[in-house]
């Protein structure tokens, strides 16, 4: 395999790639967290495209366990854990038994109110627990809005450098991310000289395959994960159009609506972290972003026919908004 052009920002020609390579969409969600498609729907789409998929639901493994039952599809057991800081981390496993054990012993006891809430574990604690198993650990969308990506103001430069040294790699093309953030993630991946992955971060079956990892290896979990670990893979993908991003975020908002207190708490904590950062320009940008997102959330709550159910969340929003202007 020629390892030039390791990261390619273009729509994958899956039919042609599949003639030679093993292909996996390395980041996908089901209705068990904030996705909208069932496992059978995702499997059907994977069969059409001739690719494998890693179900990586937020703080949940039901989808990964379910797809493991489809033996004609290459599936990579995985989970996207939300740390105490609000940052996401992807953990991939070589077998479903290990994923189940990790979830049972190392995630479920530390879960928040919903699957979309933060766990009570720090990033370092999650990595340490994941290292007890044979795993591939990756930071998804390292540059993204607010605190979900590892490269944010919550972490000091020293702590960030230490954390990046603990994991196996970073996701460089995330189809739901902005192109400028994916480009920065790619530069980070090359600078770290670690594994680089790509995934659609899809929430509907039709989005499967927008961004993929591919490698010249046997179509098995172990072979594919080994290839990624050894940096013997390539990444190809393209960001979805802005209108589709808006639609996807609206769908995720419906899933997250009961999680607003947790979201607000994380926003406030992140705001304090920004206050202690050195860049005044960064502070201004982040607080403008915080205010916009919370106001947008409030507006959508008011439009909802069920908004009275969320009176507590509404009261919290009204209390917090003036502080973020």
In angstroms, rounded to a whole number, what is the distance separating the alpha carbons of residues 76 and 56?
A: 9
What is the arithmetic mean of pLDDT over 118-140? Answer: 98
The pLDDT confidence band at residue 320, using thresholds 50, 70 and 90, is very low
Going from the C-alpha of 94 to that of each of 7, 29, 91, 135, 224, the distances in angstroms are: 24, 19, 10, 7, 10
Q: What is the pLDDT of residue 3?
A: 74
Q: Is 133 exposed, middle or buried (0-12, 13-18, 19+ CB in 10 A)?
A: middle
The candidate with the shortest Cα–Cα distance to 205, out of 25, 37, 31, is 37
User: pTM (2 decimals)?
Assistant: 0.82
Q: How far apart are CA 136 and CA 63, in angstroms?
A: 19
Distance CA 103, CA 130 (A): 10
pLDDT tens column, 292-302: 555 555 555 55
Return the top range by mean pLDDT from 76-85, 111-120, 152-161, 275-284: 76-85
Fold of 7-240: TIM Barrel (3.20.20)
pLDDT tens per residue, range 147-195: 899 999 889 999 999 999 999 999 999 999 999 999 999 999 999 999 9
CA pair distance 34, 199, nearest whole angstrom: 16
Q: Give the separation between CA 207 and CA 221, rounded to whole angstroms.
A: 22
Helix axes 280-303, 311-320, angle to 10 degrees: 150
Nearest to 55 by CA among 202, 176, 171: 202
């Amino acid at each position: 395999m020629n390892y030039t052009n390791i990261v390619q920002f273009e729509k994958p020609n899956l039919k042609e790639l599949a003639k030679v390579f093993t292909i996996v969409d390395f980041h996908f969600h089901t209705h068990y967290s904030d996705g909208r498609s069932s496992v059978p729907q995702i499997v059907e789409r994977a069969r059409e495209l001739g690719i494998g998929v890693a179900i990586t639901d937020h703080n949940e493994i039901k989808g990964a366990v379910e797809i493991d039952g489809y033996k004609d599809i290459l599936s990579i057991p995985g989970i996207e854990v939300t740390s105490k800081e609000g940052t996401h981390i992807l953990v991939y496993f070589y077998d479903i038994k290990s994923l189940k054990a990790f979830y049972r012993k190392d995630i479920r006891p530390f879960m928040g109110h919903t699957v979309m809430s933060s766990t009570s574990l720090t990033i370092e604690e999650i990595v340490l627990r994941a290292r007890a198993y044979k795993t591939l650990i990756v930071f998804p969308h390292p540059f993204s809005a607010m605190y979900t990506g590892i490269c944010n103001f919550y972490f000091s430069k020293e702590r960030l450098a230490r954390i990046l040294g603990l994991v196996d790699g970073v996701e460089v093309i995330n189809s739901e991310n902005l192109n400028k953030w994916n480009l920065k993630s790619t530069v980070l991946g090359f600078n770290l000289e670690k594994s680089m992955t790509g995934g659609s971060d899809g929430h509907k079956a039709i989005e499967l395959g927008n961004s993929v990892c591919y490698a010249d290896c046997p179509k098995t979990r172990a072979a594919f994960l080994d290839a990624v670990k050894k940096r013997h893979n390539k990444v190809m993908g393209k960001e979805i159009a802005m209108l589709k991003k808006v639609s996807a975020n609206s769908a995720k908002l419906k899933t997250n609506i009961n999680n607003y207190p947790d979201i607000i708490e994380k926003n406030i904590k992140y705001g304090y972290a920004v206050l202690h950062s050195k860049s005044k320009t960064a502070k201004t940008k982040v607080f403008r972003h915080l205010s916009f997102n919370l106001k947008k959330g409030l507006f959508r709550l008011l439009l909802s026919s069920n908004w009275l159910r969320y009176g507590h969340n509404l009261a919290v929003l009204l209390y917090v908004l003036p502080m973020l202007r």
